[in-house]
A and B are shown apart, each in its own frame.
Chain A
Amino acid sequence: MMKRRQFIQKSTAATLLAGVGGLSLQSFDSSKTKKITILHTNDVHSHIDPFGPDDGRNANKGGVARRATLVESIRLENPNTLLLDAGDIFQGTPYFNYYGGELEFKLMSMLKYDLATIGNHDFDNGIDGLYAQIPHADFEFVSANYDFSNTVMDTHIKPYKILIKDGIRIGVFGVGIKLEGLVDKKMYKETVYHDPIEKAQDMSRILKEEEKCDLIICLSHIGYEYKNKPNKVSDIKLARATKNIDLIIGGHTHTFLPKPTIEKNSEGKDVLVNQVGCYGLYLGKVDFYFSSGKNIKADGASIMV
């Protein structure tokens, strides 16, 4: 689907500025359109090596070292790039059984991941097993609906994080799936789950109104959609029930979306929902182009997916 709307690249504000005395304001050079690139993975499940040539389903696909090359080339093209992961980093190959997630975190650090959220399988060696690997991660974790305050992870996971690229304030918050019945209680211990939609509503308000973010991203491990369980919270439901979120990066359901889904939020505005299946077979890429000034149409951005 293509949804083209006219948009004007040139900023009148910049023209005005240039006219008032030639004062150079490099950091706010609004004459150019700014571009923020969001790269994302989900449910990589310890798939460090590519699938072998004899694999019945994913022959010769995936591989962290290839992902590293791809990410590096995109960063070279646009340094204003974020790399995010939507959880279930752990579990799925012997690398996890042997090293408990150490290699996964070290490699994600080499690839310069910015943020990740927590998936249910990231508790597979217990919350203590997750905590033990935190020193190997040069990136941070966000989760707004898991309360870790009575666990070892207290203070190691923030509800949201703000990243600034080219003067653009990007707010990223995380949401995770209900653990009861899915993960053994002795694994997640005193981690308390809260409703993802309520937390997402709080987060998007804080990020928009208090933190003045230009771009709001929800990093989710609640699952894309549950057609057979209409009451189960999902990314699609979260998209419809919230406002001010620009992009939901999902996981858990291993949903292979060939392109992001465009949903309408509670105000009737567009919100993108994306998920790239699992096992590092794909890298999701969403480019946001920013213009400043009055010349942006009120009905929102043109979306090309």
Chain B
Amino acid sequence: MTIKHTLKLCFLLLIFSCSTQKVSKIEGKRLNIDEHIESNKAVEAFIKPYREHVNQDMNNIISYAPETYSKSDGELNTAIGNLMADAVFAESNPVFSEKTGKNIDFVLLNHGGIRAIISKGNITTRTAYEVMPFENAVVVVAMKGNKVNEMMTYLAKAKRAHPVSKQLQLTLTADDKIKSATVLDSPIDVNKIYYVATNDYLYNGGDGMTFFQPNEGLTVLDYKIRNVLIDNFKKTDTLSPKRDNRFIKLKN
């Protein structure tokens, strides 16, 4: 065999071996990241100044929770959801009134927007960030009664504990039909204009909430939901949210 031939053969083998890399075995596993692993010193040192800056603000105690509250605590209304919707009403209505001379009729938020539990014990600024990490802000939508009825149909179909404020009372039959829907004890009037506070995400159709548009007008309050919670917590020494009958389904 000449050198030329040998080189040719080697070249062919090279191509052959390159083009036939095949997976012969696969192993998969999940590795825990917990206290058994030591922290990387350089990474830890890099995080430190950021952490100290954030913690200075976050660890501020602003209220107290006598129990742990979770968004899975009830079928169609929960203590934490009622707390949030009522807080949006309480904190936003003065801002809205001053701006427009009108009052908010009720509040609608979404169940998925409650991003964490409120744990029993001290409530800090951090709690508000955990429950509402998003930057969404309060908007007030002027909507006709027929659009409010559309909202009620949505809530009946969604079968989720989307938070509503206590001014709204929605009762469903056992087969998820609307039994009654009232705002401040009056049935929904299709010709009346209602002022409904929500957040900009839902206003723009988030969570399939298409009933907010078109509408009779929009007021942007420039007030983040998270700041609503912080302001509300600061005013309340001990929280006492309750599950109640504002949005329920009858057993039979």
| A286→B24 contact, CB < 8 A | no
Q: A283 within 8 Å of B by Cβ? A: yes
How far, in angstroms, from A166 to B24 measured CA to CA in the complex? 16
| A91→B47 contact, CB < 8 A | no
Q: How large is the interface on A (under 10, 10 to 19, 20 to 34, 35 or more residues)?
A: 35 or more
**Which residue from chain A places its CB closest to the CB of B51 in the assembled complex?**
A49
Q: A111 within 8 Å of B by Cβ? A: yes
| A291→B30 contact, CB < 8 A | no
CB distance from A25 to the nearest CB of B (A): 6
Partner of B24, one of A94, A106, A284, A302: A302
Asked if A20 meets B32 with Cβ closer than 8 Å, knowing A289-B25, A292-B21, the reply is: no
Partner of B43, one of A62, A68, A282, A290: A68
Q: B42 within 8 Å of A by Cβ? A: yes
Partner of B32, one of A65, A212, A282, A294: A282
B 30-69 to A, binary, CB cutoff 8 A, 1 in contact else 0: 1111110111101110110011011001100000000010
Partner of B31, one of A106, A110, A283, A293: A283
Q: A70 within 8 Å of B by Cβ? A: yes
Q: B185 within 8 Å of A by Cβ? A: no
| B135→A97 contact, CB < 8 A | yes
- Of the stretches A130-138, A146-154, A235-243, A257-265, the one at the interface is A257-265
Q: B184 within 8 Å of A by Cβ? A: no
User: Across the interface, which residues of A come within 8 angstroms of B101, CB to CB?
Assistant: none
User: Across the interface, which residues of A come within 8 angstroms of B18, CB to CB?
Assistant: 28, 167, 292
| A181→B22 contact, CB < 8 A | no
User: Across the interface, which residues of B come within 8 angstroms of A16, CB to CB?
Assistant: 13
User: Across the interface, which residues of B come within 8 angstroms of A30, CB to CB?
Assistant: 17
| A94→B43 contact, CB < 8 A | no
Q: A163 within 8 Å of B by Cβ? A: no
| B68→A56 contact, CB < 8 A | yes
| A107→B34 contact, CB < 8 A | no
| A21→B6 contact, CB < 8 A | yes
- Of the stretches A79-87, A196-204, A218-226, A272-280, the one at the interface is A272-280
| B50→A99 contact, CB < 8 A | yes
| B17→A292 contact, CB < 8 A | yes
| B117→A65 contact, CB < 8 A | no
CB distance from A52 to the nearest CB of B (A): 10
How far, in angstroms, from A50 to B135 measured CA to CA in the complex? 23
**Which residue from chain B places its CB closest to the CB of A129 in the assembled complex?**
B135
User: Across the interface, which residues of A come within 8 angstroms of B21, CB to CB?
Assistant: 34, 167-168, 214, 290-292
| B30→A69 contact, CB < 8 A | no
**Which residue from chain A places its CB closest to the CB of B119 in the assembled complex?**
A56
| A60→B22 contact, CB < 8 A | no
B 1-33 to A, binary, CB cutoff 8 A, 1 in contact else 0: 000001001100110111111111111111111
User: Across the interface, which residues of A come within 8 angstroms of B126, CB to CB?
Assistant: 94
| B19→A212 contact, CB < 8 A | yes
| B24→A296 contact, CB < 8 A | yes
Asked if A107 meets B31 with Cβ closer than 8 Å, knowing A13-B13, A124-B135, the reply is: no
| A305→B35 contact, CB < 8 A | no
How far, in angstroms, from A213 to B15 measured CA to CA in the complex? 14
**Which residue from chain B places its CB closest to the CB of A300 in the assembled complex?**
B23
Asked if A110 meets B42 with Cβ closer than 8 Å, knowing A94-B54, A288-B26, the reply is: yes
| A110→B30 contact, CB < 8 A | no
Partner of B23, one of A293, A301, A304: A301
User: Across the interface, which residues of B come within 8 angstroms of A284, CB to CB?
Assistant: 28, 30-31
Taking A11-B17, A287-B28 as given, write out 8 further A-B residue pairs in contact, using a Cβ cutoff of 8 Å, ordered by the A residue number: A94-B58, A97-B133, A212-B19, A259-B29, A291-B21, A292-B21, A301-B23, A301-B26
Interface residues of B (CB under 8 A from A): 6, 9-10, 13-14, 16-35, 37-40, 42-44, 46-47, 50-51, 53-54, 57-58, 68, 115, 117, 119, 121, 126, 129-130, 133-135, 200-201, 204-208
13 A-B residue pairs with Cβ-Cβ distance under 8 Å, sorted by A, are A33-B25, A65-B39, A66-B39, A167-B18, A184-B201, A259-B29, A281-B33, A283-B30, A283-B31, A283-B33, A290-B22, A290-B23, A292-B17
Q: Which 10 interchain pairs have the tightest Cβ spacing?
A: A65-B39, A68-B40, A260-B28, A289-B25, A66-B37, A65-B43, A305-B28, A291-B24, A296-B22, A301-B23
